[in-house]
Amino acid sequence: MPLSAVSQSTNHDFPERLRRVADLVEARLDALLPKPAGHQAVIFEAARYAALGGGKRLRPFLTVETARMLGGPMDAALTVGCALECLHVYSLVHDDLPCMDDDDLRRGKPTVHKAYDEAIGVLAGDALLTQSFEILSEADLSADVRVTVISELAKSGGMSGMIGGQVVDITVAEGERDEALITELQAMKTGALIDYAVKAGGYVAGASYTELEALSAYARDMGLAFQIQDDILDVTGDAETVGKAVGKDADLGKATFVSILGLNGARDRAKALGVQAKNHLEPWGASAQTLRQTVDFVLEREH
């Protein structure tokens, strides 16, 4: 199923659309990630093991659907989304390491350091991070746009973005975590890449500054709703459906949106953020339908 076919689809069966784009992401990642070769074949295998065969591919979906809404080049958007997915996957591989969250299960299969070993876990993450910039540097876009998507990805994934959020998460003591702190933490740890996912679709499509501001506001509200739903699933979900260990935060006595706002309070907050997120899409009217449905999906998802 080529991108154009998804593009021409007239029905708005959201799960089907998400699945189709996920299939395209899988195929493109398979093409973009080098095949195992040489004495270092194991690192290509480990990178492919981590990146292929799983995940909702929500971030590349957002890039592709934002570009589609704006009439941008779909094939380049898919490539940029895949670069972002590589960066996202590297962060999961490193977060799962014994010195971090020490997780054995990810997307329903053993984590990289479990399937291989810890050194390969570190190096496979490094490789995927590096690969994400290589992919962007070779995307079918003008040099100016390539520089923009590279620069913004580095900022979103860096010390003031995703890495910064992870550092806050592992270093700030429980007693110091109030709602403001965990909101700031999540805006960096999860929010920065969701923000990038949407804006990247805008960059690819040549969006104006005003459009990018509205897209970013949409993404930030949805990103926070996404994290609140994550906290809810950690309490209400089961490991098999969620695809990773659950109940960890509660077991650790960690401050989450649920522990601070209560389960119903967290649900209400997520719902309100969802409404707010959709409001930012008003300029695009009916063509924003898929991005609106994405908000509902994020709020209703069970994994």
Listed residue (84, 81, 61, 53) closest to 6, CA to CA: 61
Which runs of E-coded beta strand occur in 170-282?
none
Interaction residues for a second copy, span 12-51 (CB under 8 A): 34, 38-40, 42-44, 47
* Half-sphere exposure (Cβ direction) of 239: Cα atoms closer than 13 Å: 11
CB of 177 to a second copy, least distance (A): 10
* Cβ–Cβ < 8 Å for 88, 59: yes
Which one, 131 or 259, has the nearer CB to a second copy? 131
Which one, 176 or 240, has the nearer CB to a second copy? 176
CB of 178 to a second copy, least distance (A): 12
CB of 231 to a second copy, least distance (A): 19
CB of 99 to a second copy, least distance (A): 4
Would you state the structure tokens that stand for residue 190, as one six-digit string? Answer: 């999860």
Interaction residues for a second copy, span 144-183 (CB under 8 A): 144, 146-147, 150-151, 153-155, 157-160, 163-168, 170-172, 181
Residue 52 binds a second copy (CB under 8 A):
no
Backbone conformation region of residue 7, classed left if phi is above 0, alpha if psi is from -120 to 50, else beta = alpha
| Amino acid occupying residue 213 | E
Rounded to whole angstroms, the Cα distance separating 175 from 131 reads: 38
Residue 252 binds a second copy (CB under 8 A):
no
What separation, in Å, do the N-terminal and C-terminal C-alpha atoms of the chain show?
25
Q: Which of 10, 99, 240, 285 binds a second copy (CB under 8 A)?
A: 99
Hey, is 39 helix, strand or coil? coil
Residue 235 binds a second copy (CB under 8 A):
no
Q: Which residues contact 199 (CB under 8 A, 6 or more apart)?
A: 66, 152, 212, 215, 216, 219
Count of residues of this chain found to bind a second copy when the rule CB under 8 A is applied? 58
User: What is the torsion angle, in degrees rounded to the nearest 10, for the CA atoms of residue 48, residue 49, residue 52 and residue 53?
Assistant: 160
DSSP structural state of residue 36:
P
Q: Which stretch binds a second copy (CB under 8 A): 12-20, 132-140, 214-222, 269-277?
A: 132-140
Q: Which residues contact 23 (CB under 8 A, 6 or more apart)?
A: 1
CB of 129 to a second copy, least distance (A): 6
CB of 165 to a second copy, least distance (A): 7
Could you list the residues that contact a second copy (CB under 8 A)? 34, 38-40, 42-44, 47, 90, 94, 97, 99-100, 117-123, 125-127, 129-131, 133-134, 136-138, 142-144, 146-147, 150-151, 153-155, 157-160, 163-168, 170-172, 181, 184-185, 188
